[in-house]
Structure 1
Amino acid sequence: MNQKWALFSFKGRMRRRDYWLYSLPVLFVTIPVFMYSSPENTGTNPMADILAMVVLGFVMWASMALNIKRLHDRNKSAWWVVVTFLPLIGPIFALVELGILKGTEGDNQFGPDPKGGSTPPSSRPNDDDKESMTIEM
């Protein structure tokens, strides 16, 4: 998997395993930055404050990209990421919806199955095959 796509793109789908593989390092980068950004440390070193803001900007972008791709794998719109910002409900929603529940099997409106289980284009039914798809009783 391409790291640039995983951390910066909002398109496509991401399976749970890859979501966790990318989310945990992002989390581990976030913790020391938040610890440094405490009120007693801010303003003591302006360059460090700027660096912390840049790192937090990267972390927010990467987190949004990862969350949106997981939502796409669950066949949900990117707008659902707004729920993750709600106090109390957001972290629970993120853990369950993004980190625990399986993605949609096969292709969905956001792309092919990231597990590779999608139907190859040559075997997908098209409009000409509708008659062969009907069930006769």
Structure 2
Amino acid sequence: MEQAEPRRRSHTALVVGLLLCVVAIAFEQIAVVTAMPAAAADLGDLDLYAWAFTGFVIPQIVAIVVAGRASDKVGPRLPMVVGFVVFAAGLVVAGSAPSMQILLLGRFIQGLGGGTMNLTVMVLV
């Protein structure tokens, strides 16, 4: 009976961690939809407005495929950690962008990390 308790805690920690990853990605998407009009007005280049969304989805699709193969080879832990770090780096780049081009670069990086995290969450569930 004593062995069941650490296993239960480990399972709970995993579920909470996965939930936080999903919430982070979902919140980021909602925040971008809300903040993008003001950001585009401040940064200029309104003709690039739609790329803030497309620039996330395209690398996300690529990352899902690559992360799937990586998860098959090394397990989901390493891709999850890498995806989280890449996603966080993209948030920093996009959040501190002085121009629309840098914001798009940040969104691209976020897409890579977000796709990797999405896939590994599905693998772990």
Q: Give the TM-score normalised by structure 1.
A: 0.36
Q: Give the TM-score normalised by structure 2.
A: 0.39
